[in-house]
Structure 1
């Protein structure tokens, strides 16, 4: 009988370090001690924390100085029911610009922001019935294809002005360069 030759591979011989209960995996790794269930629970808590943080930071407080939605602007408008039915609520910015020619510089005052309302052209009769605009005001505004906007409640002394709808610049938030502009659905 022929004897078998010794195998050249080390795996066939028992290692001196191997004893009973020896685990061949590395025992120094941090991840070895973490259970998959524990990792899933930690990940779930992390995601839940992010969700709660987003919900709390985007929620509205009634006395918050931030305007975060169209509904807040609609409620703050003068005569909100009338404005929603016959026009649109607006944020009115009063600002003055000073331009010097020599040297050429532009100076701007701090804008004053307040709620306002823009009436549609076919609803000017509301202002006429309350004697807030004259026939001459209506004629001048109509000749320039403009409309009326106001700040302050109509029952008190509102500031009413003939305003022009300026679409020349477009809305760069909705129309980034290179994209096509959406069609206007509402002209005032």
Structure 2
């Protein structure tokens, strides 16, 4: 069975639940208000052999306009299959988690982007440039702004077939930028651009 429980924790202490699939390694977007935890009794009287959502899913409005960036709610998600925790954004207008839907997003962002601190002190996601690190050739940030500035330790090189592993630079740990959503020195537009519209 490839379905496990994911718990979504809101800043006010509220908990919602969702299904997490180990087949596609991601959380489904339907949220539930109740769950049966391992060892508890299901409504039909059977014991839970694995934690799972119960009841009907909460209503959601996926076609609604996405809430403005300053109204998106940072949430913490923990899934039981791999015992992994990550941060994501919840849209109150759609009543659903927009993403990221898996802790794999940390690797994806770090393999794809560099983190650049602009002259105003704000950190932005910028496309990784392989051959030209000159500031005047640096591409725009994910938010669309041009960001000359200080390159920060963030980008990780994804190993590929035939690569000399001993030539890799020292690997950086995964960084969950969505955990920093409320910080003033991180560009929210860059992070929001990585979510489905």
Q: Normalized against structure 2, the TM-score is what?
A: 0.19
Q: Greater relative contact order: 1 or 2 (C-alpha under 8 angstroms, separation 6 or more)?
A: 2
Greater per-residue strand proportion: 2
Q: Greater Rg, structure 1 or structure 2?
A: 1
Q: Normalized against structure 1, the TM-score is what?
A: 0.20
Greater per-residue helix proportion: 1
